[in-house]
Structure 1
Amino acid sequence: MSFELYYWDGLQGRGEFVRLALEEARADYVEVARGDEALGLGTASMLAVLGSRSEACPPFAPPFLRDGELLISQTANILFYLGPKLGLAPADEGLRYVANGLQLTIADAVTEVHDTHHPLASGLYYEDQKDAARLRAHDFIDHRLPKFMRYFERVLQQNPAGDAYLIGATLTYVDLSMFQLIDGLHYAFPKATRRFGEHYPCLAALHDAVAARPNIAAYLASERRLAYNESGIFRHYPELDKAAR
């Protein structure tokens, strides 16, 4: 039976972190919102689950994943579930909680990226908060971005199994998510990340190694990989970007 992934059509968003794990493992999955309504798929089907009165605990928002009778929400929680099933989690049970902690920290960084272009209210258009966004984005570039990246660089350097992966000696879903975070930052803030490899060589090497993995490379070159756009989390507004200190 296929996994069913529910996320907004036309957006990478938080759903992309789940897609990368499914693609790396060549898992059988269906993008429900991107499917044919004649087959019972499409955005209306996703909204029906969100508003369901029959689900014991319906999800608050996408992404969410259905595996048989099980419905799982929240990106980090989905990956915590999928990791062992897809061979993308540490074998040691204790380290799985460490991996989850790293994934939650990535989620914190993603939220701060989103808030660079929507610092006042998610319900307002970007154009209604441009001045505040400029202040927030420049503070993010100067302070928060290096704080997050220095931390993740140190995690790589201090991995007892070597600096090729964030945890353990083999690829996990956390490495795939780190690739997506770095890749999105390059799109959103090309000036700020121009010297990324100089400042964070281990992270840059991880990003490139993930991109070169056969299954990921095939996915990135396919139509399944949606393009970045100014409706997602990672948005490129030139006025928000600047060279890092």
Structure 2
Amino acid sequence: MSLELYYWDGLQGRGEFVRLALEEAGADYVEVARGEPSEGLGTNAMMSIMKSRDEPYPPFAPPFLKDGDLVIAQTANILFYLGPKLNLAPSAESLRYVANGLQLTIADMVTEAHDTHHPLASALYYEDQKDAARVRAHDFIDHRIPKFMKYFERVLKQNPAGDTFMVGDALTYVDLSMFQLIDGLLYAFPRALKRFGEHYPRLAALHDAVIERPNIAAYLQSDRRIAHNEACIFRHYPELDEAAT
């Protein structure tokens, strides 16, 4: 039975971190919200699980994954489950918790990136909070990006197995997620991050190495890869990118 990934159609969002792992592993999966209603798929199928009165422990929001009767919610939790199944987790069990901790830290930064364009309320349009967004973006660019990226760069540098991968001596889902985080930030803040490779050479090398992996390269060039857009987490608003000092 195919794995079933549930996420909003038309968005990379948090679902993209899961997609990258599935694509790298060549996993057999179906993205339900992008399927045909006639096949029992589509957004309605996703919403029916979330709102079901009979589903035990229904997910609060996408992304979530179905593997048979098992429903797993939250990006980091999904990847913690998929990692060993897809051979994308450290072989040492102790390092699997390290990987999960890094994934949760990535999730923290993703939330902060989202809040640069929605600093007051998610229910408001960006246009209703532009002044606050400039203040939030200024702080994110000047303080939060360096704080997170210096940490991730240090993790790479101090990896006992070498600075090729975030955890251990082989690719894990954390490396794929780090690629997605960097890729999203480069899209949202190209001016502010024009010297990203100079400041964080190991992270830049990791980003480029992931792009060159055959399965990832094929995915990025396919119609399965949804383009960055201004309805998603990472949005490019020039006026926010100009907040850099």
Settle same-fold status: TM greater than 0.5: yes
CA distance in 2, matches of 1:80, 1:5: 15
CA distance in 2, matches of 1:70, 1:108: 26
Aligned counterpart, 1:125: 125
CA distance in 1, matches of 2:140, 2:104: 18
CA distance in 2, matches of 1:89, 1:124: 38
Aligned counterpart, 2:147: 147
CA apart distance, 1:188: 0.3
| CA contact 2:138–2:243 (8 Å) conserved in 1 | no
When the two structures are superposed, what TM-score results if normalisation uses the length of structure 2?
0.99
| CA contact 1:33–1:46 (8 Å) conserved in 2 | yes
Measured on the aligned residues, the alpha-carbon RMSD in Å equals 0.7
* Equivalent residues in 2 for 1:73-84, closer than 5 Å: 73-84=73-84
Structure 2 gap segments, 5+ residues each: none
CA distance in 1, matches of 2:136, 2:55: 39
CA apart distance, 1:243: 7.2
* Equivalent residues in 2 for 1:1-245, closer than 5 Å: 1-242=1-242, 244-245=244-245
Q: Per-residue CA shift, 1:158-177, capped at 9, x if unaligned?
A: 00000000010000000000
| CA contact 1:193–1:243 (8 Å) conserved in 2 | no
User: Partner letter of residue 173 of structure 2?
Assistant: Y
Structure 1 gap segments, 5+ residues each: none
CA distance in 1, matches of 2:193, 2:80: 29
For the residue of structure 2 that corresponds to 1:66, the secondary structure is strand
Q: Per-residue CA shift, 1:196-227, capped at 9, x if unaligned?
A: 00000000000000000000000000000000
Aligned pairs, number: 245
CA distance in 2, matches of 1:90, 1:242: 40
Q: Per-residue CA shift, 1:141-191, capped at 9, x if unaligned?
A: 000000000000000000000000001000000000000000000000000
CA distance in 2, matches of 1:56, 1:44: 19
CA apart distance, 1:54: 1.1
Structure 1 outlier segments of 4+, above 4 Å: none
CA distance in 2, matches of 1:67, 1:24: 18
User: Partner letter of residue 136 of structure 2?
Assistant: R
User: Partner letter of residue 3 of structure 2?
Assistant: F
| CA contact 1:191–1:243 (8 Å) conserved in 2 | no
| CA contact 2:134–2:243 (8 Å) conserved in 1 | no
CA apart distance, 1:244: 4.8
When the two structures are superposed, what TM-score results if normalisation uses the length of structure 1?
0.99
